[in-house]
A and B are shown apart, each in its own frame.
Chain A
Amino acid sequence: MAHGGTPAAVAGHATEAAHHHAPQSFWRRYVFSTDHKIIAIQYLLTSLIMAAVGGFLAMLMRVQLGWPGKEWPLLEAIMPNAFKGGQMDPDFYYGAVTMHGTIMVFFFLTTALSGGFANFLIPLQIGARDMAFPVLNMLSFWAFPVSIAFALASFFVQGGAPGTGWTAYVPLSERETAGQTLWLISVFILMLAFLAGGINYITTTLNMRTKGMSMSRLPLTVWALFATALIGLFAFPALMAACLMLIFDRVGGTHFFDPAGGGDPILWQHLFWFFGHPEVYIVILPAMGIVSEVLAAHGRKPVFGYKYMVGSMLTIAGLSFLVWGHHMFSSGMSPTLGSIFMVTTLAIAIPSAIKTFNWLATIYRSKMRFTAASLYAIGFVSLFITGGLTGIILGNPSVDLYFHDTYFVVGHFHFIMGAAALFGVFAGIYHWFPKMFGRMMNERLGKIHFWLTFLGIYGTFFPMHFLGTAGMPRRIYNWDAYQFLGDVATLNHVISISAFVLGAAQLIFAYNLFYSMFRGPKAERNPWQANTLEWWAPSPPPHGNWDEAEPVVYRWPYEYSPKDAPEGVDHIPQWLPEPAMAVAGRDGQRAR
């Protein structure tokens, strides 16, 4: 099972003394751990629990939207405050809207990808023993539960959770009850944590790469997470500043955003979206990286256009700061600015299209193994195409005037930063689970989970485009009050039922995840026969990652099905030196 000869031994490099980690107490090892892998798992599991909370809120919203005005005595019995008299209370509905968005964007997707996967993959894939700043890493994780506590506490203060949406537009958010202040503090703490995390990822990627791991040999996941951290470095401070200013407005008597005191409500929108649009890419870039990796490893084919993949990610990262105004076409800003944001917005579609075509070319004539991980990666490509195309409609400001703040937008961004990013998370979990926990997940359950999720996602979010085309505004608690929406009842039933199927399918995943964590069959070092360095470490890797010396890197990470390889060899891992290529065949056979 173990790979023959450490690379150091094979290549004759001087071995660095192996790190020895003394046995640690339970608390030090699993709770206040500085080990990047434990922190990654902490981030991942916490964010999955938050996803369940956010998903539950979404289900409640779909109960209301599917059958507005209907009474639900059972739900009233369970949640008497939310369902006063059997019908959902509008105040609760808007609180659910806000917290669903906040939880899914901040507490689930950003943390799962930039907290979970970044922590797990960056050191392992670059051949480092840990992050550059392990203690900072631990602190940045522990700020996360504090942030969650503030956000969830808002449900229990007078007035409940804020009803201003995750965008918290002023002046409404200046007038909202105390829950809004808690929300702002929560977001501020989280941004601080992400910023600390981002600095750690950037430093680690730049400084801690092992011998031979040049930037041009980085796996695409590391490139994606690195680009994400760079975006965060510039985006998070804008939101932190905005949150602080709004906290001052609310509790300190300043008037940054209040026109009554000379402030400007549009300033909030500029600050928020200067963060908010890059945030979309903070969520989608890591998913793109994971998908590239999974498609190559499970398709036994090199990623197509590695250089273009990296280039388009960096282009997206740069352009993401120039498009925020497309959220504000109807805010009354100068039409000249509107046309500029149209150009930049449609320009960002070019690198996105390049990536899509490169994934298609990667799948083309691959020898795909249809595992749960690769199904999610293929599903991601399908979702990204669908969601990306509707973005072209929204990027046209004159057309956007109609679609802005309708369900068309809800459908669009749920495809991209909801569903596609979620598929990235699932692809990543199914792919790296063996490395994380040293056990395999159940593939059959994984596939059933995928089929239901894929159909549930399309059934939920595709019809939302029709709702938007018919003119249904988002954040409308009872659309049935509008005559022009008289015909959308069917659509809303379909969407709600699909959403419940989608929600129920996640129970299969939860079962599979927790069962396999403790009872799954033991995983080998490299169950997928992948090329990247993490698969050379034991499963799960010990504290310090590498048993003996750190690996040395000899090639790029996508040497799958090489032309002149010996019979039976369909991959050459990054850690195998040239002379060992000939033995790689036998070794590869044994490893199987």
Chain B
Amino acid sequence: MHQVTERDNRRGGAIMTLLVGLVLVAGVASTVYATKRWWLPPLVSAAAAPIDHMFNLLMVTIGIVFVLTQGALAWFVWQAARNPRALYWHENRRLETTWTVVTAVVLTAFIVMGYQIWLSLHAPTAAAAEKTAVVEVWGQQFFWTARYPGPDGQFGKTDPQYVDFQKNPFGIDPNDPAGRDDIVVDGSKEPIVVPAGYRVTVRLASRDVIHSFFVPSLRVKMDAVPGQVNEVYVEPTEPGTYEIACAELCGVGHFAMRGELRVVSEADWQAWLQERAGEHGGTAQ
């Protein structure tokens, strides 16, 4: 038998209690400190407000459970080092039922709330639908490109036969009147522009591998998958410039796939559309 004196064992238990206690205290303290310094970036999206609320609620709940369970663990360990004899106790149906039901109720509440938010993100609300804009965002190794329908609000047809990497990388059909005022913006050279106060539909596509369009300040993330178009809605509220990151490993230049999203006021947006109408872009290939 491996021999340890009672005194040594109590000391071992005290150190373990201390370690778990340290985790508890440092975990809570560092999280509180992090809310000041390393927290969600300031939110500039109306649609995403419920996400932040849900996150805060979840954080508070798991914070309470964290303190209770780690605290119980530390306390039981402290006791376990001092008990003269272990308790012969290995079954209690009422206890099992209680913690199963309580857990289930809490999780069900999260499911119901989470479901409503999930729906609200995918179904446009009536009020927000008044002013809308659409932008096509393309991911490719290793930058973002955007196409706008121009002042007429209609995307022109595209056809690979018109692709010209110097002048018309999207291959917008010059014969289609809807496409003449289309605007293409090379995101590696300048920001992608969207209007504040609009419900903006971002249509995501990819030219090569899977990328993921991540704008932390808008709480938006959606994959750009080759062969399909993914739609995501954003409602930017504050004019400003926000960073776009690629969140899906897309090759060795993944880390450099940084872009910028400029949110402009409604007047600036209209002026920008008029000014840039018909710029079919030109990306270095």
- Interface of A with B (CB < 8 Å)? 90-91, 94, 97, 163-165, 169-172, 175, 259-260, 263-266, 299-308, 330-332, 335, 338-339, 342-343, 346-347, 349-350, 353-354, 356-358, 360-361, 363-371, 375, 378-379, 381-382, 385-386, 389-390, 392-393, 395-399, 401-402, 404-406, 440, 443, 447, 451, 454-455, 458, 462-463, 466-467, 469-471, 473, 475-479, 481-484, 487-488, 491, 524, 527-529, 558, 560-563, 570, 591-592
Contact = CB atoms under 8 A, between A and B. Distances in A.
Minimum-distance CB pairs A-B, first 6: A259-B227, A370-B12, A332-B230, A471-B216, A368-B80, A302-B90
Contacts of A447: 12
19 contacts: A91-B252, A165-B249, A171-B226, A172-B251, A260-B227, A301-B89, A301-B90, A302-B90, A304-B90, A306-B90, A330-B223, A342-B114, A343-B111, A369-B9, A370-B13, A397-B118, A405-B247, A561-B87, A561-B88
Contact of B110 (A307, A396, A462, A592): A396
A525 B174 CA distance: 86
A308 to B, nearest CB: 5
Contacts of A347: 107
Contact of A357 (B23, B99, B250): B99
B50 interface: yes
Contacts of B161: none
Given A332-B204, A354-B99, A365-B89, 10 more contacts: A169-B209, A305-B91, A330-B221, A343-B111, A353-B99, A361-B89, A396-B117, A447-B12, A469-B39, A473-B245
B84 A481 contact: no
A473 B111 contact: no
Contacts of B89: 301-302, 304, 361, 365
A304 B91 contact: yes
Given A363-B77, A484-B216, A346 B110 contact: yes
Contacts of A378: 16, 20, 73, 77
B114 A397 contact: yes
Given A339-B118, A481-B255, A382 B73 contact: yes
A563 B89 CA distance: 9
A216 to B, nearest CB: 13
B128 interface: no
Interface string B87-104: 111111001100110011
A346 to B, nearest CB: 5
A367 B10 CA distance: 10
Contacts of A463: 30
B32 to A, nearest CB: 11
Contact of B34 (A164, A260, A349, A466): A466
Interface of B: 1-2, 4, 9, 12-13, 15-16, 19-20, 22-23, 26-27, 30-31, 34, 37-41, 50-51, 54-55, 58-59, 61-62, 65-66, 69-70, 72-73, 76-77, 79-81, 83-92, 95-96, 99-100, 103-104, 107, 110-111, 114-115, 117-119, 121-122, 204, 208-210, 212, 214, 216-217, 219-223, 225-228, 230, 242-243, 245-256, 258
B118 A469 contact: no
B249 to A, nearest CB: 5
Contacts of B253: 90
B108 to A, nearest CB: 8
B214 A473 contact: yes
A592 B248 contact: no
A342 B100 contact: no
Contacts of B115: 339, 342
Given A265-B210, A353-B103, A370-B9, A300 B86 contact: yes
Contacts of B80: 299, 363-368
A529 B90 CA distance: 19
Nearest to B247: A405
B225 A375 contact: no
Given A169-B210, A354-B96, A562-B88, A475 B254 contact: yes
A390 B27 CA distance: 13
A367 B85 contact: yes
A398 B73 contact: no
Given A366-B83, A396-B114, A592 B34 contact: no
B259 to A, nearest CB: 11
Nearest to A296: B90
Contacts of A169: 209-210, 248-249
Nearest to A259: B227
Given A172-B209, A563-B88, A475 B79 contact: no
A166 B144 CA distance: 25
A172 B86 contact: no
Contacts of B251: 163, 172, 175
B62 A389 contact: yes
B209 A171 contact: yes
B86 A367 contact: yes
A470 B41 contact: yes
Contact of A399 (B58, B73, B210): B58
Contact of B219 (A381, A395, A401, A455): A401
A360 B2 contact: no
Contacts of B87: 301, 364-366, 561
B217 to A, nearest CB: 7
A169 B95 CA distance: 44
A529 B253 CA distance: 57
B212 A405 contact: yes
B38 A491 contact: yes
Contacts of A259: 226-228
B216 A398 contact: no
A96 to B, nearest CB: 12
Contacts of B119: 335, 339
A451 B212 contact: no
Nearest to A264: B227
Contacts of B31: 466
A478 B142 CA distance: 15
A406 B245 CA distance: 11
A181 to B, nearest CB: 17
Contact of B118 (A170, A172, A300, A338): A338
A116 to B, nearest CB: 22
A591 B16 contact: no
Residue in B15, B19, B70, B90 with the greatest tally of chain A CB atoms within 10 Å: B90
Given A367-B85, A405-B248, A382 B51 contact: no
A471 B19 CA distance: 29
Contacts of B121: 335, 398, 401
Given A343-B111, A364-B76, A385 B83 contact: no
A342 to B, nearest CB: 6
A563 B26 CA distance: 40
Contacts of B248: 169, 405
Contacts of A401: 51, 121, 219-222
Contacts of A476: 245, 254-255
Contact of B27 (A303, A381, A386, A392): A386
A352 to B, nearest CB: 9
